[in-house]
Structure 1
Amino acid sequence: MKAPAPGVWTARVLTLFPQMFPGPLGMSLTGRALERGLWALEPIDIRDFAFDRHRSVDAPPAGGGPGMVMRPDVVAAAIDHADAGLSREEWPIIYLSPRGRRFDQAMARRLAACRGATLLCGRFEGVDQRVLDARGVEEVSLGDFVLTGGEIPAMALIDATVRLIPRVLGNAESTQEESFSSGLLEHPQYTRPTEWEGRAIPEVLLSGHHAKIAAWRRAQSERLTKERRPDLWRALSEGSADPEGEAELSDAKTSAATGGQKKDER
């Protein structure tokens, strides 16, 4: 695997379905940024590293049970091929798994500051634990739900990270006022026409008084956070939130699995 281009954030995706990429990542702002070379995408087919003519990548789970498990030797060969030879701080390897640390805006900022990331997309009943331990793979979850594989979560993680790369959005201020950037949910947004179906834009937003507008937006963000995400509000109130993304994230692999979920699909 060639070294990433200097200064270009690169996503290497280990998957059984490389044809799924770029998919939505090739559209709109991320797609234009990809074409302009502001970031790079390298899908890698895990089956290329199988050891038999059938390109087998899985085997029955040790101890019995339903389904199949992705083999450590095949997955390790794919990871070693993708490994940029950098420290994990500069180039993390992430396995999309529901028992991992919950992905959030702070993690997106941390990844955007790296040189790139390798994303392992699981299938079947998951990946042999030994390769995750041996290769220092982080486990990251998008939420408490089950999908058929890690490709869609990988796309979401890449999208959330790439949009933080300079010049991708074109307006750096837009990332500073959105949900989670300050630990709060984003305030409501309005635009023309001034009145629509009997509903008017709040007068303060038309006042031209920037201090009052800022205060109104802050109050709305606090209200929405209290109502919809009391967990975030409690964390902020207790001083345990990390809106600037400076908390230590090295415990990503130690998060407990949620009950009854498979371990490969996010």
Structure 2
Amino acid sequence: MRIDIVTGFPAILQSALNQSMIKKGQDKNAVKIHLHDLRDYTDDKHRTIDDYPYGGGAGMVLKVEPFVRCLEDIDKQSKISDSKILLMSPQGRQFVQNTATQLSLHKHLVFLCGHYKGIDQRIHNFFEIEEISIGDYVLSSGEISALVIVDSVVRLLPGVLKDIDSAWTDSFTEELLDAPYFTRPEIFRSAKVPEVLLSGNHTKIEKWRLNQKIKSTKNNRPDLYNKYLKTIK
């Protein structure tokens, strides 16, 4: 997979993209990630990427020209037909685990990182873009949102996780939150590991884990619990 990230603030991403699973994915050639500084696609001496909104109002708006130039440049560089452009936006479709799975099947993802009040709406006149949100709240920058999605997608790529079953048993993969996990020591300050996990009886262990998933989901995410109930009817 190839991932391109278009941002006016590349320093926000540089360190995080070279850590943990994202770095592992690049080291294993499962993904190649390219950062593009929006200011490199400006044409004035101040390298201006934002301006005041037409119609007045508070805040600034990211200019359309640098984004269009950058996306055209990426298109020339990548020459990949299976490209999907994602705009980080609180107005977008909510990102969930199933979205990560779908995105992991693409050969090329392009992330547009918003800032300030957002990007000039005319960007949609030139490219097919899907707006996507990581939740019902507002962040200072789309870079953080993009990083969340990149991490979630990269860990699903073949060869990144040593045990891919670890990814498929995570929370949300079956409309349930995950079960609690324990490791050594068996007893710590009188806190013990549940006996069933020490039994070696895998049928009982799986049943216990399913019950824990259901309990956790019912208590913490009733919306997901109701979805789960529909799947088992």
TM-score of Structure 1 vs Structure 2, range by shorter chain: over 0.9
Provide structure 2 residue ranges, at least 5 long, that are not aligned to the other structure: none
Secondary structure (helix, strand or coil) at the match of 2:110 reads strand
Among 95, 102, 106, the residue aligned to 2:87? 95
Render the CA deviation track for 1:127-163: whole Å, top value 9, x for unaligned: 0112134311111111122221111111111010000
Superposed, 1:22-61 pairs within 5 Å as 22-61=14-53
Deviation at 1:239, TM superposition (A): 4.2
Matched, 1:73 2:96: no
Render the CA deviation track for 1:64-111: whole Å, top value 9, x for unaligned: 001111122222112222234555xx2210111111111111111111
* TM-score normalised by the chain length of structure 2: 0.93
Higher helix share: 2
Judge conservation of contact 2:89–2:132 (CA < 8 Å) in 1: yes
Q: Which residue of 1 aligns with 2:160?
A: 168
Q: Which residue of 1 aligns with 2:198?
A: 206
Over the matched positions of the two proteins, sequence identity in percent amounts to: 36
Among 125, 128, 148, the residue aligned to 2:120? 128
Q: Which residue of 2 aligns with 1:264?
A: none
Superposed, 1:182-193 pairs within 5 Å as 182-193=174-185
Q: Which residue of 2 aligns with 1:149?
A: 141
Judge conservation of contact 1:22–1:41 (CA < 8 Å) in 2: no
Deviation at 1:28, TM superposition (A): 2.2
Q: Which residue of 1 aligns with 2:150?
A: 158
* TM-score normalised by the chain length of structure 1: 0.82
Q: Which residue of 1 aligns with 2:96?
A: 104
Question: What RMSD in Å do the two structures reach over aligned CA positions?
Answer: 1.7
Structure possessing the higher relative contact order (Cα contacts under 8 Å, 6 or more residues apart): 1
